[in-house]
Amino acid sequence: MTSNKLSKRIRALLDYEDNITTMIASARFGGNGECDCSKDRVKMNVSENRLVYDVLREKMQKCTRSETWEDDMFMYSERGGVPELKEAIAKYLRATTRAVMPIDPKQMVVLNGADAGLEAFGHIICDAGEAVLLPAPFYSGIHRNLKTRFDVNVVPIPLSSEPKSGESKPFELTVERAVKAYKTAIQEGIVVKGLFLVNPNNPLGDVYSRQLVLDLLKFANRYDLHVVLDEVYMNCIFEEGIDHYSIFQFKEDEIPDLQKVHFIWTFSKDLAMGGMRISANYTWNEDVFRSLYAIAHFHPVPTGWQRIMTKLLSDTDWCTDVFLPTSVKRLKEAFDHFTTGLTKLGVPFHGGPAGLYLWADFSKFLSARTAEAEIAFHHKVIKAGVEFSPSLLYGGSERGWFRVVFARKLDILELALERIQRALQS
């Protein structure tokens, strides 16, 4: 069937995919291991924490070995998640966010992953052609999730490596930048309906202060915007003395309009289980909840898998006293090892205190600070046997920056550094 026989919707999706493919044409390859053996490539472009699979494997074997497969585990599950799983997630969130605000499982809808959850919030908040604000550089998947099926646009809030007056650090997000981006969009005739905030940030690794989160909530209220808080990396903070302020740490009367605030968390990052495809989508707005519940029909998590994940997550002591401390310790070791290597190679980086990645500046190794030169360097690195993601995929306005995932074993990081050096010297 030729493309002109397909729907306009799918043609738009294919055009989007073609643009991405063209941008990183030679980077397509198969395999899910740390190295694709057929092409011998170290993959540092996927945000997976591969440092803790041994700890997970031991726990999962215990959960599954003693699991009794009841009849209902083979049946269709309750739409939006089985009650036991939602209660286990709520229990986990109460413990790890140090929640002040009540967390009610009945206000939660479980979907098959953050992609589905982010898409759902965009679908609910915006009509086709409308937009949300998103600090840039941003996780490229958010743009894909919002744009490809429901034509929701992203208006970037541009952040800069060069702080302007009143800013204290590179890539600092401020209310002033958010206001400027919003007003510029309105002047251009764009209807802006929401603000998406990933905290800790992907790809920068920055953790937003309590005051900034509150100020952004007030900004959104001033302009009648919904706020979607993506907190999937909240327990991936590896620097001491840095606190994450979840929306659940605010009192209800501190938040200007709780009816327009929504939350998402997944198993993918905190618990290093990206392949399990489970997200918790939470809202205080009854209409938004009913909308999520309706959408959940299309994004269920297998019933048996929900039961097993309930068992794992219900062991709060294991999560908070064993798994998370081990994960954070190993992330810190990997970050220190990799950044020491980058420094020796003369590669500057913006490494926030959280996440599985850093934002590395290879601009001085480009032939010019252009999109073409960034892609050319990207291909050079791939040819040397390592892959990470160019700023063009992240809405970044400064060429030469790349997101590099460091949550890999130390021997893999050593191999990656050798290959990066090879690329820089070629």
Length of the chain: 426
Partners of 230 in the β-ladder:
198, 264
Structure tokens at 265: 């968390």
**DSSP of 234-265, one letter per residue?**
TT-B-STT-----GGGS-GGGSS-GGGEEEEE
Q: Which long-range contacts (CB under 8 A, 24 or more apart) does 173-178 make?
A: 173/135, 173/201, 173/206, 173/208, 173/212, 173/216, 174/212, 175/212, 175/215, 175/216, 175/218, 175/219, 177/135, 178/133, 178/135, 178/216, 178/219
* Intervals of the chain under pLDDT 50: 1, 26-31, 36-38
Structure tokens at 110: 């479980």
What are the strands, taking DSSP E only, across 18-117? 35-36, 41-43, 108-111
Please enumerate in sequence order all residues whose Cβ is within 8 A of that of 272, keeping only pairs 6 or more positions apart, or say none: 48, 49, 50, 51, 52, 53, 56, 327
Percentage of the chain beyond pLDDT 70 is 94
**What's the CA gap between 66 and 112, in Å, rounded?**
25
What pLDDT does 3 receive? 58
Same fold, 3-54+319-425 and 70-315: no
Q: Can you give the residue ranges of every domain in the chain?
A: 3-54+319-425, 70-315
CATH architecture of 70-315: 3-Layer(aba) Sandwich (3.40)
**With a threshold of 0.85, does the pTM exceed it?**
yes
pLDDT tens by residue, 4-47: 788 888 888 888 877 776 666 544 444 455 554 445 789 999 99
Q: Give me the helix-helix angle, 114-125 and 286-295, nearest 10°.
A: 130
16 with 144: CB under 8 angstroms? yes
In 3-state terms the chain splits into helix, strand, coil percentages (rounded to 5) of 50, 15, 35
pLDDT tens by residue, 110-137: 999 999 999 999 999 999 999 999 999 9
**What's the CA gap between 288 and 347, in Å, rounded?**
45
Report in angstroms the alpha-carbon separations of 351 from 12, 13, 76, 172.
36, 33, 44, 13
133-142 core/surface letters (b: 16 or more CB in 10 A; e: else) = bbbbbbbbeb
DSSP secondary structure code for residue 161 in this structure:
S
400 with 366: CB under 8 angstroms? yes
What pLDDT does 10 receive? 86
**What's the CA gap between 133 and 153, in Å, rounded?**
9
203 with 137: CB under 8 angstroms? yes
CATH classification for the domain delimited by 3-54+319-425, as one of 3.40.50.720, 1.10.3470.10, 3.90.1150.10, 3.30.465.10: 3.90.1150.10
106 with 289: CB under 8 angstroms? no
